[in-house]
């Protein structure tokens, strides 16, 4: 039975690997070529993404292999012959279970070690390309908006010397709304921050309108200014250049604990600021009443002080991290849920495969592709649910595994009654 399973696993593995790899290849290769990256360099970069291809290849291959192997035994009446010789279903089930545990271990190592390592190498190679080809970060004569930081980069011509006639419109916490103009900018490597490149601006002119000072503005000139750009906001494809995808499970767990602590502090700060706001409102009303009273000088002085305190309160800057806690939680559970699905799928595919009466392998392939498609939609739907809803993140990522495990147990119980 083990030989039949391993042969089916090899066939299934090659099938799913090709399907996912072709998808990755078409997604990244075309865009790299459009950015005028060489063919060999593009292939080298894409090769670092192979561990990401294996994320779903292992569990889907395990499930289809079990369906094909058990289906072949069932359609050839070999399971009935084994049962007649005194073997119980559990004896037939154990070899598949042990093999699935081994595959789950390999899948976990791939997800936890090789995928972050490949991502880091991908980042390094891509960053080298960015330094040599500024067009990847900033396209010529284009407008590119950075939504999260509310920044917009307007660029002129781009050549080997750099980027011509740059305008940057952003919102700086200290300076307020800013407009930065420069005749020339060059892409530089940022050694201090991963996934960040530095746009070195020359002969800059900056105009700023502070949010806490109405009817006032500031301007400055400088020979040089370094402006940092987070690469995952201006990159090809959909992957991130830094953050949870480049971390191991241990690093993710450490980061989650730290961010939970930061989240608790931010919530405490929010509550404290809300209470302070209510206190200021009461005092402001009291000072306004006193302003109409006889002690005008004291009330006016108190009112001015309150206005200053309220301005400071409005400009309190609570540190907001680049990625939310949910992002790390989703990646953490994803790293564990997908490898474990190799083990979970055996509980589903073993009893389902026993219902095959004819052409067990063909039926196994058909059912395997169908179930893989359903699981894929459920899993990515769970990720969206984890981001967009208040459901627990662990449930959003684990409910596909729970669903197929329960369905498999029910089908297995139905088979035992026959």
Q: Is the same domain home to 14 and 123?
A: yes
Looking at 320-417, list the stretches that DSSP marks H as alpha helix, in order from N- to C-terminal side: 325-353, 360-388, 393-417
Boundary residue ending a domain (233, 263, 278):
233
Q: Is the same domain home to 119 and 157?
A: no
Does the pLDDT of residue 414 top 90, yes or no? Answer: no
Question: What is the per-residue DSSP string for 109-153?
Answer: HIIIIIHHHHHHHHHHHHHHHHHH-GGGTS-TT-EEEETTTTEEE
Q: Is the same domain home to 26 and 104?
A: yes
Give domain status of residue 257, yes or no.
yes
Both structure tokens of 137? 């970060």
Give domain status of residue 156, yes or no.
yes
The DSSP element (H or E) to which 152 belongs, if any, is: strand 151-154
Q: Kindly state the DSSP code that residue 59 receives in the 8-state scheme.
A: H
Which stretches of 25-83 are assigned E, i.e. beta strand?
A: none
Half-sphere exposure of 123 (CA within 13 A, CB side): 24
Please check whether residue 56 is in contact with residue 376, taking contact to mean a CB–CB distance below 8 angstroms.
yes
How many residues comprise the chain? Answer: 418
Query: What is the rounded average pLDDT of the residues 296-318?
Result: 56
Q: Is the same domain home to 257 and 207?
A: no
**The total number of structural domains that make up the chain:** 3
Half-sphere exposure of 347 (CA within 13 A, CB side): 16
Q: Residue 339: pLDDT band by 50, 70, 90 thresholds? A: very high
Cβ density class 56-78: b for 16+ within 10 Å, e for less: bbbbbbbbbbbbbbbbbbbbeeb
Return the ∠ at Cα 178 (arms to 176 and 182), rounded to 5°. Answer: 155
Q: Report which of 28, 15, 96, 8 is spatially closest to residue 360, judged by C-alpha positions.
A: 8
**Dmax of the chain from CA atoms?**
107
C-beta atoms surrounding 210 within 10 Å: 16
Query: What is the model's pLDDT at position 134?
Result: 65
pLDDT in tens, 173-216: 666 778 889 998 888 777 666 667 788 888 999 888 776 666 77
Q: Is the same domain home to 216 and 300?
A: no
Q: How far is CA 368 from CA 226, 347, 348, 414, in A?
A: 53, 14, 11, 20
Give domain status of residue 290, yes or no.
yes
Give domain status of residue 241, yes or no.
no
Q: Kindly state the DSSP code that residue 228 receives in the 8-state scheme.
A: E
Q: Is the same domain home to 122 and 9?
A: yes
Boundary residue ending a domain (173, 201, 233):
233
Q: Is the same domain home to 308 and 397?
A: no
Q: Residue 412 and residue 81: Cα distance in Å, rounded?
A: 19
Question: What is the per-residue DSSP string for 324-338?
Answer: -HHHHHHHHHHHHHH
Query: What is the rounded average pLDDT of the residues 23-45?
Result: 76
Q: Residue 386 and residue 257: Cα distance in Å, rounded?
A: 18
Q: Is the same domain home to 345 and 404?
A: yes
Residue range of the domain that includes 171: 138-233
Give domain status of residue 321, yes or no.
no
Q: Kindly state the DSSP code that residue 166 receives in the 8-state scheme.
A: E
Q: Is the same domain home to 300 and 345?
A: no
pLDDT in tens, 110-151: 999 999 888 888 877 777 776 666 666 667 788 877 665 567
Give domain status of residue 244, yes or no.
no
Give domain status of residue 42, yes or no.
yes
Q: Report which of 412, 413, 410 is spatially closest to residue 354, judged by C-alpha positions.
A: 412
Which stretches of 195-327 are assigned E, i.e. beta strand?
A: 196-209, 218-230
Higher-confidence residue of 311 and 362: namely 362
Backbone angles phi, psi at 225, to 5 degrees: -150, 135
The DSSP element (H or E) to which 277 belongs, if any, is: helix 249-291
Q: Is the same domain home to 165 and 216?
A: yes
pTM across the whole model:
0.72
Please check whether residue 322 is in contact with residue 243, taking contact to mean a CB–CB distance below 8 angstroms.
yes
Give domain status of residue 364, yes or no.
yes
Q: Is the same domain home to 284 and 223?
A: no
Query: What is the model's pLDDT at position 387?
Result: 86
pLDDT in tens, 234-293: 444 444 455 788 888 998 999 888 888 877 777 777 777 676 666 666 666 666 665 555
Q: Is the same domain home to 195 and 228?
A: yes
């Amino acid at each position: 039975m083990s030989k039949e399973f391993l042969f089916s696993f090899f066939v299934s593995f090659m099938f799913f690997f090709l399907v996912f790899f072709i998808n990755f290849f078409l997604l990244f290769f075309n865009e790299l070529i459009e950015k005028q990256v060489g063919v060999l360099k593009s292939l080298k970069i894409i090769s670092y993404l192979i561990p990401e291809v294996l994320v779903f290849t292992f569990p889907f291959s395990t499930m289809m292999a079990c369906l094909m192997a058990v289906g072949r035994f069932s359609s050839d009446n070999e399971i009935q012959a084994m049962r007649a010789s005194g073997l119980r279903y559990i004896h037939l089930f154990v070899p598949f279970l042990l093999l699935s545990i081994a595959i789950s271990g390999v899948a976990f190592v791939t997800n936890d070690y090789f995928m972050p390592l490949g991502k880091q190498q991908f980042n390094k190679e891509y960053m080298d390309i960015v330094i040599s080809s500024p067009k990847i970060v900033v396209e010529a004569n284009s407008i590119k908006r950075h939504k999260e930081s509310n920044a917009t980069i307007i660029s002129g011509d781009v050549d080997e010397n750099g980027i011509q006639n740059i305008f940057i419109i952003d919102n700086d916490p200290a300076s307020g709304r800013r407009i930065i103009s420069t005749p020339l900018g060059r892409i530089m490597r940022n050694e201090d921050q991963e996934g960040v490149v530095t746009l070195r601006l020359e002969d800059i002119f900056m105009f700023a309108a502070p949010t806490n000072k109405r009817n006032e503005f500031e301007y400055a000139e400088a020979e040089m200014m370094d402006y940092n750009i987070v690469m995952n906001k201006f990159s090809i494809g959909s992957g991130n250049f830094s953050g949870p995808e480049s971390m191991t499970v241990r690093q993710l767990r450490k980061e989650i604990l730290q961010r939970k602590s930061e989240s608790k502090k931010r919530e405490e700060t929010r509550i404290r600021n809300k209470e302070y706001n209510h206190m200021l409102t009461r005092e402001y009303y009291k000072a306004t009443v006193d302003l109409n009273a006889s002690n005008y000088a004291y009330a006016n002085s108190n009112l001015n002080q309150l206005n200053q305190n309220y301005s400071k309160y409005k400009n309190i800057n609570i540190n907001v991290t680049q990625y939310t806690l949910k992002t790390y939680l989703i990646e953490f559970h994803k790293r564990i849920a997908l490898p474990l699905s190799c083990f979970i799928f055996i509980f589903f595919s073993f009893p389902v495969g026993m219902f095959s009466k004819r052409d067990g392998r063909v039926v196994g392939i058909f059912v395997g592709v169908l179930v893989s498609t359903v699981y894929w939609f459920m899993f990515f739907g769970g990720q969206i649910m984890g981001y967009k809803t208040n459901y627990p993140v662990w449930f959003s990522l684990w409910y596909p595994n729970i669903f197929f495990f329960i369905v498999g147990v029910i089908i297995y119980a139905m088979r035992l009654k026959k």
